[in-house]
Amino acid sequence: MNGIQLSNRLSNFPPYLFAEIDKKKSELRAKKIKFIDVSIGDPDIATPDGVIETLYKASKIKSNQKYALDQGSLKFRTAIKKWFKKRFDVSLCERSQILPLIGSKEGLIHFPLAYVNPGETILIPSPGYPGYRGAALFAGAKPYEMPLLAENKFLADLDKIPLSVRNRARMMYLNYPNNPTTALAPKKYLTEVVKFCRKYGIILAYDNAYSEIYFEEKPLSILEIPGAEEIALEFHSLSKTFCMTGFRVGWACGNPGLTAGLLKVKSNVDSGIFGAIQEAGANALSSQSAYVGKLRKTLKTRRDVFVSGLKELGFDEIYAGSTFYVWVRIPERFGSSIDMAEYLLMKKRIVATPGLGFGKHGEGFIRFAMTVDIDVLKKALKLLK
């Protein structure tokens, strides 16, 4: 059948950044060209043994082989509740405030379908995770980019948002520890965000997927901020914390009404998370705290070596405060982040992520992921000379 066209909805989508990068990597592999991949946040470190063993045993249980509850298993939700209380000292109701997800990405992108009408505005950070823009477009909403600028420590300046935009905004995405800038948000700033959203009736989708990937300062939960529970839903992922990217498991938590709205969407688009994966997730949260500490040490060592190497090479604006990314101002000789990414790919066989792919305010930067062994990072530094 010829002439099949995409819907107007999909035609308005820009190419998905990571899909385009994967395409280029596949082309290199097809030509048997070796390269160093520091583009995607997919850790090379193995998932905890206890999680794998739990998954294997739970997979053989007949009840886990059937449809799961849309709301998630009570065991997994209880494990999330206990972990959240221990980590943030925030009490959640496992029956009304916690919703397991097939990875935090699907929850973040489905969320506006529950609350945002076509034509309404969604505030998104720029640079920011490309999925936020996709979520707005799927919902028929208008994305409004909030610049994250170095001079503001990559915190969105709420005062710069026009009143007309505030009044028609229905939802805001925010993400700290931040991908790609690695910035952390202090409590004072998060308090301002909560007050802003409450004042203008804006739902806050707080992406906290990197809450456990920090080195000095411990990140906060938005739910630690007074008043946040009225307007916020926070999203977490086991992908980064326990190197479980392929498992596709995470959760949303916060306002019971917001959780219920997202559940209503999900009950119409999926049939729950494989029960054995929920068992594995519960094991990760309840029994693998030592693993997370070791992971942070490994990532810190990689970060320190890579940042030190970049400084020796003359890079003078480097950000690596949290997450497993390093966000770097590109040298002046490159006209754009795309130009530098192409240069690294074609001349140095290094795959990195251009800042422009995270939004127009990401231009002028490039992102490196510390998701390869330290010896590979050292090799990349030699190639950059």
pLDDT digits (tens, 9 = 90+) for 68-92: 988 999 999 999 999 999 999 999 9
Q: What CATH number has the domain bearing residue 159?
A: 3.40.640.10
Looking at residues 6-22, what average pLDDT do you find? 75
pLDDT of residue 223: 98
* 7 within a domain of the structure (yes/no): no
The reported pLDDT for the residue numbered 29 is 77
Per residue in 128-159, pLDDT (tens digit) is 999 999 999 999 999 999 999 999 999 999 99
**Are both 59 and 164 inside the same structural domain?**
yes
Looking at the structure of the chain, the number of domains it has is 2
**Whether residue 261 is found in the same domain as residue 366:** no
Query: What pLDDT is recorded for position 47?
Result: 97
Beta-carbon contacts of 238 under 8 Å, excluding residues fewer than 6 positions away, are 244, 247, 249, 250, 281, 284, 285
Average pLDDT on 242-255 reads 97
- Is the bond preceding 15 in cis, omega lying within 30 degrees of 0? no
Residue 314 in domain = yes
| Residues 219 and 346 grouped into a single domain | no
Q: State whether 56 and 189 are in the same domain.
A: yes
In a domain, 6, yes or no: no
Q: How far apart are CA 382 and CA 372, in angstroms?
A: 15
Same domain, 71 and 178: yes
Contact 253/234 with Cβ under 8 angstroms? Answer: yes
Residue 191 lies in a domain: yes
**In a domain? residue 4:** no
The amino acid at residue 266 is K
Whether residues 34 and 83 share a domain: the answer is: no
Q: Which amino acid is at 75?
A: K
Structural domain ending residue among the three candidates 288, 310, 337: 288
pLDDT of residue 17: 64
Shortest CA distance to 265 belongs to which of 172, 144, 135, 129? 135
Confidence at residue 2, expressed as pLDDT on a 0 to 100 scale: 65
